[in-house]
Amino acid sequence: MRSEEDLAQRLQKRDWQTRANRDKLEALIHEMLEYVRRSNLYNRLRRLDALQKASEEIEKVHELGSQVTRQRLEEIFYLLRLARQGR
């Protein structure tokens, strides 16, 4: 299982705007959500809130350009770190 930091490093590549890499982006998003689902968070409601927020942000990702996409995903990773800490 990769940590969110490993995923964030993989997102630093500049080729997310190409169609060929859209599948890679979707796979990373799925992997990120699975990471949150498997995380042992102290408060189940906070985990569900983090998943809901991540899902809302992911809906926006597909309509955005590469730089904005990376920014959105960084926001999601931040939310996941908060959720993992149980805040």
pLDDT in tens, 34-79: 766 666 655 666 667 777 777 666 666 655 566 666 677 777 777 7
Q: What is the pLDDT of residue 21?
A: 62
- What is the CB-side half-sphere exposure of residue 29 using CA atoms within 13 A? 23
Eight-class DSSP state of 39: S
38 is written with which tokens? Answer: 């498997």
- Retrieve residue 53's tokens: 């927020």
Tell me the mean pLDDT in the region 9-17.
55
Spans of all domains in the chain: 4-85
